A and B are shown apart, each in its own frame.
Chain A
Amino acid sequence: MTFTGIESLTLPLAVLALLLMVFLADLLVPAPSDGRQSDAQRGLGALTCVGLVGVILLSWWMPQGGLAFGGAYVQDAFATYLQRVLLAAAALGALGSIDHVDRNFPSRQGEYYLMLLFSLLGMVVLAGARELVLIIVAFELMGIPLYVLAAMQKRAAGGVEGSLKLYLTGAVSSAVTLYGMSFIYGVTGTTNLTAIAARLSLGDDQGPLLVLGLLLSLAGMGFKIGVVPFHMWVPDTYQGSPTPFVAFLSVAPKAAGFGVLVRLFVEGLGAMRDTWWPIVLVLCVATMVVGNLFALSQRNVKRLLAWSGVAHIGLMLLAFGIATVQGIGVLIFYLTAYVFTNMGAFFIVDVVGQDGSDDLDAWQGLARRSPALGGAMLIFLLSLGGIPFVAGFWAKFLLFWAAWQAGMGLLVLLGALLAVLALFYYLKVARSMFIEGTDGPAPRVALPTALAITIALLGVIGIGVYPQPFVDAALAAAAGLLGG
Chain B
Amino acid sequence: MDLFEYQGKEVLASFGVPVPSGALATTTAEAVAASEELGYPVVVKAQVRVGGRGKAGGIRVAGDVAEVAAAADAILGMDIRGHVVERLWVERASAVAAEHYVSLTLDRSARMHLGLLSSRGGVDIEAVAAEEPAAVARLHIDPLDGLSSEQCRGWVADAGLGDGIADAAVELLGRLWTAYTEGDAELVEVNPLVVTADGELVALDAKVTLDESATYRHVEWEGYVATQAGDDREQAARARGLQYVGLDGTVGIIANGAGLAMSTLDVVAQVGGSPANFLDIGGGAKAEVMAAALEVVNADPKVAAIFVNIFGGITRGEEVANGIVTALEHVDLASPIVVRLDGTNAVEGRAILARHESDRLVSRATMVEAAATVVSLAAQKTATP
A and B interact physically: no
